[in-house]
Amino acid sequence: MIPDGQAPAAVPAAKYRSQFRIFVDIMRVIQREGNEAKPTRILYGANLSHDRLVKYLEELKVLGVIQESGSSEKVYGLTQKGVEFLNSFRKVEAFAGAFGFKI
Amino acid sequence: MGSELAPPIWFFGFYSLMEFIAFAIAMAVALQAMKGYTLTRERTLLYLNISFLLLGAGLLVDGLANLVVLLSRFHRNLIYLSRLGYTIDFLAQLVAYTILVVVYVQQTRTWSGQIAVAALPIALLESNPFTELILIFLLVYISAQTAINYNVSRTTNSLLVFGAFASLALAHVFFLLFTIAPIFFPFAHISQLFGCFLLLGMLFRVNQSQ
């Protein structure tokens, strides 16, 4: 679970992405890249600036949902906790979507 | 159900059983919404949770009240419990569906939705045996929103949710017709239970998806 403090409350989702939604987008890019995504791929895939990407990747590492590897060039992968989180999120998204609610 | 007519006596046992099943399904939907809220902190899921908790509570109270009346073999002093159960169930449904309508209005910001919410107090001023009209009014709005959602998304899950709310709306049309003839009472409960089973089907599909 993403802790309380990480998700801003009452943000109009239609206008801009919440931090929670950006976390999900980053994790989905990593999963799409076969669980080995370079920062450039994540940057384009999640549509983020370099500074924001670095900040969010650090936060996701602290949460324990992604891990960093590689010595010369950094590569990011999902941890078991991250995979389980994305699976849970997919179910919640399908449930909310069935009622017509966007997350 | 809020009228001078009594439900068919032979149906009382089935009636309670159907309400207990519907209660369990409403709780399952509420639980799923709570899981979603815990994960995402999305307020619409919290409102969905509260809405289905209220629906479940109303069904449980009505089911229990009628079960007590049945077990007392329709004792004269306990008949009022049936009416009390209905009143609590009606109020729970009223609040639950109003919450859903408000959530849809906030999401869509349509004039029709604002009119639906604005007209509610006017409808409440009319104290008459046709209180079901208020619930039909709310459920038709929710059904319309879920139909629009299905039209956009074209997913089986959204079709099941639309079918569920349409069935619940139909159930309340039957409850309204019950004020004319008791035979509509079983149809109302069958329609209500069918709507709940459609929601259960959606829950199974959501939880099976990988």
**Is the Cα dihedral A47, A53, A59, A65 positive or negative?**
positive
Token duo for residue B57: 């509570």
Contacts of A27 in chain B (CB under 8 A): none
Per-residue confidence (pLDDT) for residue B127, from 0 to 100: 41
Q: Do B146 and A101 touch (CB under 8 A)?
A: no
**Is the Cα dihedral B136, B141, B146, B148 positive or negative?**
positive
In three-state secondary structure terms, A66 is strand
Token duo for residue A75: 């590569």
Question: Which helix (H) or strand (E) element contains residue B141?
Answer: helix B132-153
Helices (H) and strands (E) in chain A, counts: 4, 2
Q: Nearest-CA residue of chain B relative to A14? A: B107
Per-residue confidence (pLDDT) for residue B150, from 0 to 100: 95
Assess whether pLDDT exceeds 50 at residue A6.
Answer: no
Per-residue confidence (pLDDT) for residue B4, from 0 to 100: 47
Q: A-B interface: how many C-beta pairs under 8 angstroms? A: 82
Burial class (CB in 10 A: 0-12, 13-18, 19+), A80: exposed
The pTM assigned to this predicted structure is 0.83
Report in angstroms the alpha-carbon separations of A85 from A2, A36, A89, B66.
Answer: 9, 17, 6, 43
Q: Do A100 and B145 touch (CB under 8 A)?
A: yes
Q: Please write the tens of the pLDDT for every residue from B16-72.
A: 899 999 999 999 999 999 999 999 999 999 999 999 999 999 999 999 998 998 888
Q: Do B36 and A96 touch (CB under 8 A)?
A: yes
Q: Please write the tens of the pLDDT for every residue from A8-41.
A: 333 344 456 788 899 999 999 999 999 999 999 9
pLDDT 10s per residue in chain B (210 long)? 444 456 677 777 888 899 999 999 999 999 999 999 999 999 999 999 999 999 999 999 999 998 998 888 878 778 788 888 888 999 999 999 999 999 998 887 655 555 555 555 555 544 445 678 889 999 999 999 999 999 999 999 999 999 999 999 999 999 888 888 888 889 999 999 999 999 999 999 999 876
Per-residue confidence (pLDDT) for residue B35, from 0 to 100: 95
**Distance in Å, alpha carbon of B66 to nearest chain A alpha carbon:** 32
Assess whether pLDDT exceeds 70 at residue A78.
Answer: yes
**Distance in Å, alpha carbon of A64 to nearest chain B alpha carbon:** 15
Can you tell me the ipTM of this complex?
0.85
Any idea which residue has 């039909």 for tokens?
B136
Q: Do A101 and B41 touch (CB under 8 A)?
A: no
